[in-house]
Amino acid sequence: MFISFEGADGAGKSTQAAYLIERLKAAGRPALYVREPGGTPVGEELRRILKSGGNISPLTELLMFEAARAELVEKIIRPALERGEVVVADRFADSSVAYQAYGRGLPVQEVHALNRAATGGLAPDLTFLLDLPYEAAVIRSSGRDRAGPASAGALGQARRRFEDAPDDFHRRVVEGYRAIARAEPTRWAVIDATRPEGEVAEEVWAHVRRRLALVR
């Protein structure tokens, strides 16, 4: 089974993916965590470039994500699924639709076409949208420090910056994710990410247990 976590920056995807991996393994299910971009030598190098903050055009950015995704699918995800493992992804192809199409303004159909080419048509069986209002996404992502969680002062500064200049990019990304989820409700589970981590983790686990017919 292939599971992915999606949502705006700061929604808690990495945290929830880690919780899920722990619970799957405790339940006796072999499970593998992957992240995008990354997971292969090519993917990690592309991740370094993408995270460097350089002035990358939207199309170049998309193509770099797709290259990393193609390597991850071929070298890591498909072999793990063939071995019978549950693969849990911190982002997958839906991220490119939300960020590069809705957020950056690239044509949606072109993004879908490149996604299909990079994944060979592979799609998650279950995708969690950790839904966070765009105001909260801006505040969380702006206030985070790379060395750890945001301090109260950093969050306060981010909140004031948002109030002074609302972030339209994050709004488009959040609205894009919601539109994608509405279009494919059987695959997506939308979860309110403003709630405490533990509550979110319990709801995630309930969905996964139903899909895998697991018992505690």
**Per-residue pLDDT, 176:** 96
Closest by alpha carbon to 114, among 72, 77, 174, 70? 70
Q: At what angle do helices 197-212 and 13-26 cross, to 10 degrees?
A: 50
Specify the amino acid at residue 162. F
Q: Looking at residues 155-177, what average pLDDT do you find? A: 68
What's the DSSP call for residue 150?
P
* Range of weakest confidence among 62-66, 67-71, 76-80, 129-133: 129-133
Q: Mean of the per-residue pLDDT values for the chain?
A: 88
Q: Is the pLDDT of residue 156 over 50?
A: yes
Using CA atoms, how far residue 26 sits from 29, 45, 65, 88, 200, in Å, is 7, 32, 32, 15, 18
Specify the amino acid at residue 144. R
Q: Is the pLDDT of residue 142 over 70?
A: no
Q: Which residue did the predictor score with more confidence, 79 or 10?
A: 79
Percentage with pLDDT > 90 across the chain: 76
In this prediction the pTM is 0.87
Helix segments in the chain, DSSP class H:
13-26, 41-50, 58-72, 78-82, 93-96, 108-119, 134-143, 152-164, 168-183, 197-212
CB 4 within 8 A of CB 89: yes
Q: Is the pLDDT of residue 160 over 50?
A: yes
157 pLDDT tier (thresholds 50, 70, 90): low
* Range of weakest confidence among 41-55, 56-70, 72-86: 41-55
- Ordered by where they begin, the domains of the chain are 2-212 (3.40.50.300)
